[in-house]
Structure 1
Amino acid sequence: ILLPWQVLCDLSPFPVPADDNSLHGPVFLQEPDSVIFPLDSEEKKVKLSCEVKGNPPPTIGWKLNGSSIDVGMDFHYSLLGGALLINNPNKSQDAGTYQCVATNPFGTIVSREAKLQFAYLENFKTRTRSTVSVRQGQGMVLLCGPPPHSGELTYAWIFNEYPTFVHQDNRRFVSQETGNLYIAKVETSDVGNYTCVVTNTVTNSKVLGPPTPLVLRNDGVMGEYEPKIEVQFPETVPSAKGTTVKLECFALGNPVPTISWRRADGKQLPRKARRHRSSGLLEIPNFQQEDAGLYECVAENVRGRNVARGQLTFYAQPSWTQQIRDVRAAIEERVSWECRASGRPKPSYRWLKDGEPLLPQGRVQLEQGSLTIANVSLSDAGMYQCVAENRHGVIFANAELSVIAIGPDFSKTLLKKLTLVKVGGEVIIECKPKASPRPTYSWKKGKDILRENERITVLDDGSLRIVNVTKADAGSYTCVATNHFGTASSTGSLVVKDPTRVMVSPFSMDVTVGESIVLPCQVSHDHSLDIMFTWSFNGHLIDFEKDGDHFERVGGQDSAGDLMIRSIQLKHAGKYVCMVQTSVDKLSAAADLIVRVPPSPARQAELELPQLLCPLHPQECWNPGNSSGCPGWLQPLPGDSETLAQIPEVIDGRTFTATVVGLNPWVEYEFRVVAANLIGIGEPSRPSEKRRTEEARNHLTAPGPSRGRPAVSCCCTALLHLHVGFGFQSCHIHLLHFSFCSP
């Protein structure tokens, strides 16, 4: 059941982290760690830490092996803050798995598991050991047989008397797995007493075993023999991620065998691997998955070799890759959580609600790391935990589900006090109260219930939509929201304004460079509304401060936004758009501005003539599509003695050729080109190259003084080679062809 402060939570569809000042469920700041307690400790007290925050502050309890500890009834336990103190801990009573349990009105969470183990090392039971008798050159093993203990042990051997310890080398090896002493080949210097020393790394206590005498037999020396591996790592060595893996391998033999290491899969040994001086120990620090594989130990001497192998397998405790987060959900909503963890082997998942196992049923569905609750109810509120585990470890992820159930509330989401719209427009009046579950909506206009029709509809989120607005739609509107927990309403006004209309639009113009014009833009609008005029030129807003030399806003009245353009240049040609905006509408009107200029001076005409045998008819080419029009003509130079005829008389921008007739033989001609349009006449081009017409061969010639000149003229045509520029365009004409005709 939700408490009053849960009902007042803000509604949010997204996961919301709790801040320090908000009301929220328990959150662990510190969870207990596993402890190995030395039984012989003088402290006589075990402390398991647990620190939790929450609002209201949580109460803290503890579990041992899944059962609650009654701290108040057992003087053996006490609480210091959230920490559990175990006084005079007892190995048989207190060893086990502990969990911290934190509870406040929002729910309960349990901590990770912390194991309490007791470290101890008892004395050796036997006081004497039998004498070991071997032949010189023979291999030998002395057993340590450590006494009962708990906690990690280390081993060493005393030779004869303390502080002389057995020095490990290629011939002698002390296994840290069993504590046994191995001598690959016994020599006379090995004769003496051997004592196993066992140290508990947790308690730092040491115990000495009974001495073992070693003597040599007198029945001869042991001959050479092949290696025999006595210390061998298991066939399968499970190795945890990040740990240091130690592999032991030692062989007896005569001569003393050499030990080498390799990977059976052909890969190189990890570069981080370390071989000890005796070579009987291989260490691989910070073990990772790529270090897993089949490893081999090879023992060799002159008599042969022996191989031992074992598989290093990789495992990893679970580690979160995706955790769950706090969620606030409205009643009847759907809530989904998903948690993911890496690990080797792959972790399995289970869920807890308020510290107890959550089972799938009805609305609650569990699948691997996913939890889905359909149609959330108040009873679903609480603390949830996703638990990921494999055989190497268990981890917990915590989240709070707050279920919000409140009647409609407009206190922070009142209807807009005033909504403006134009006649014929469309308006949406939003209605967004906070409520859980989702309310039903109705609307009133004034005091009357508003009926939906083809123009008026209530949207799914409660908002009111009116299209094709009329003056009659103006008035006060009230949204009424209702759910199981109450009813609330909020009111606002709708004001309908006359639409803005363009009365005088800018119109397209054809102007000459240097002129000044005004593009009109005048509107009618509701004078109770502010109006704003803006102009754009070729898609870019005009900056009247930056471009004030050419552009100025004129008009004087709030309904006029005329644009003046001064001293127009070619760059001002393009599209101008007047944009008008009020708080209820916006519109625009556009016009094109065409800027004309007189033609630029024509470039020099080049007349390329072959040795023609008759009078020449030059032709001229113009660039079609010239926006300046480009009518023009051929012109003889001043002082020409011939009068030429031009066909056609005026060459427009769509004509490619012109013919000049009336040329005479033996006359030297040169030409220039003049361009003109509606704005004016351009400067003539520079003169073309001078060329002379010649007489026609194989033609009749006049007798007498005119001998050698043609008696009958024939016609022919040729094209001028010239460059002509008009305004900002030019035409490049090449010599094209000749055509001949008979007299």
Structure 2
Amino acid sequence: MALFLSPCSACGSYHGPRWRMEPGDLFIPVDSIEEEATLTCDAKGTPPPQYRWSLNGTLINLGLDRRRRLSGGNLIISSLDRYQDVGIYQCMAYNTGGAILSRRASLQFAYLDHFKVHTRSAVSVREGQGVVLLCGTPTSSGDLTYAWVFNEYPYFVQQDNRRFVSQQTGNLYIAKVEPSDVGNYTCAVMNSITKGKVQSSPTSLILRTDVMGEYEPKIEVNFPDNVPAAKGSTVTLECFALGNPVPEITWRRANGVPFPSKVKMKYSNAVLEIPSFQQDDTGGYECVAENKMGKNTATGRLAFYAKPQWIQTMKDTALAIEERLDWECRANGRPKPSYTWLKNGQQLLSEVNCRLLVLKPVYCFPSASPPDFTGNVLRALLKAKAGTTVTLECKPQAYPIASILWKKGNLPIHTNDRITLSPDGTLRLANVSKSDAGSYTCFARNRFGMSSTTGRLLVTDPTRIIQGPVDMEIIVGESIVLPCQVASDPVLDVSFSWAFNGQLIAKGDGHFETAGDLMIRNIQLYHAGKYICVVDTDVESLSAVAVLIPGPPSPPDSVTVEEVTDSTAQLAWSPGRDNGSPITNYLIQTRTPFTVGWQRVNTVPEIIDGNTLTATVVDLNAWVEYEFRVLAKNSVGVGEPSPVSVKTRTEDAVWARSVSASEIEVNWQALSFTPERVLGYEVHFYSFKWKQKSHTTQFKCLSSPPAHLKAITSQLGVAMEMAISAGRLLQPKLYSSL
């Protein structure tokens, strides 16, 4: 127990700090929307106190820490980090009158990681046999509650004398399996602080053909031999047994004293609950599981403990020189409290545990001893990153307290704005550089002797990730490599690890292969998520993050044109992979000699859903060569286009009929996208005189065509091939019997 020894207020116009508010423990959900955490610290004193904070015994350098700042005496931490901010915090308030240390306060993060994704093996048992299904709880912090889903949510296993879910292990225990128990079981875990929930992969329970005979109870759920229980807390003991017939559970106290009325039994006596635990509740407890085949007993002991509470404390006192002072502090608690005295925040004596402090002039007097560094020597080699703060502690065992001198090599070290030496002998080097590297020796001396300890400081260049992973889309079935390459000081040992969605990737996973870079083979949909490359060296840890998301669909395949008219074409295709996100619809594009690039076309149906693999393209032009391609779309985006279809020409829109024995009438439709080339007409009619002279056919144009028209006849009828010379816009072919 730490107390403060300070000058009294009567000794001058100042007085040392006194606590008004000390920090309390914090438990913060890791996914909390709060951006800051505040550890309170407030003291009164004259002059007003200043404040320092330590984390896990190391002073926090607020000048170099951008995430931590003071508001009055309160420590405010922004951009909370689950790994860097967890620990034990302590506040020091100080002024010219002295210094005091606050109670220690812990900052913890509540979290619940996901179960590792893998298929669980089926459990095969005989009817009548007992079985235990393991939950395999993922890493977590904070109180957890467990339940088991039977076959599908929201059907949960109902606990009775035959089935029990342990809130200590999360496992499911079935004392005697019946045919109705066959099915799939999923462990569901909830964090009581974050309210986050995760579920395991299902475990199948199947029955063998043979039947299990009767057997005596076997206790599978038991409480420890010795259970510490805090005063006023609620104590819960579990006990459950397998057996055939189903065992009956009973409880008793080892001393034979009946249970008080406050004690409760739950879940067919599998749980014993003692609310508001008191010292009278300590002692041995027995759980007895019994059926007609026999019985089994488990025993354990509940031990009482209580936090220290002050009975007597010291008061400010004014003394004359050479006057004796006796200060006594007393506290009760279970187990018996120990005591530590501090002066201005520094422990007066190590190895001293007394509740009485006597000043005149020495107190709680131990044996005199020269400085001794046994068990507290400097590290032989200390590596530190350039730009950081290095702390070298010099803490010998000595009485009286030793004076401290530091040397670098053979030269004494002098303090400056970058180098500080604390009263307890701790040397701090801020913003270290290569010039700070070397051999450091701490010399400790008192009137009984001198001793020293030496260590070497090596300052290294910062490690940099020169090529880290980047966000990308994944395609199911393919393999990718996430790079993680670093440049580091050659004297450093560098190690790599990868985490997927907050869980460390195990080397035995068949999909992953790590050696700095991470290779993911045969990617599946569940591999989408957040990947972190963590690089650890002797002096620092750094990381790089990438997110893999499902990609757009792969290209459709085998695009064929199955039926063509003068204005339509019916298409069919095969689907590509959806890459983890179902295909929502297809898009069709076309290209002709007269278009610039690919263009969207009109189709029937107008919107082609992801389950449709055929469509009719409409509003095409006659006697034009078309190429088609198909694109697939999902929730991520539009994928790459399919291979191009074979070139297909639409049918003609030109025809002829015999008007008389010497005339035929030719009819064609002009291209809709070039009306200016056909004098603004959509349909033109032309008549020609026909005369047979040997093998020559002559036509007389009865009206002015838009361009030169050439016709050839054969014995089978009339075959007319027309070409518009201005741009070769129309090349129809017609056959018509006379």
TM-score by length of structure 1 reads: 0.46
When Rg is computed on C-alpha atoms for both structures, the one with the higher figure is: 1
TM-score by length of structure 2 reads: 0.47
Q: Which has the higher contact order (CA 8 A, sep 6+)?
A: 1
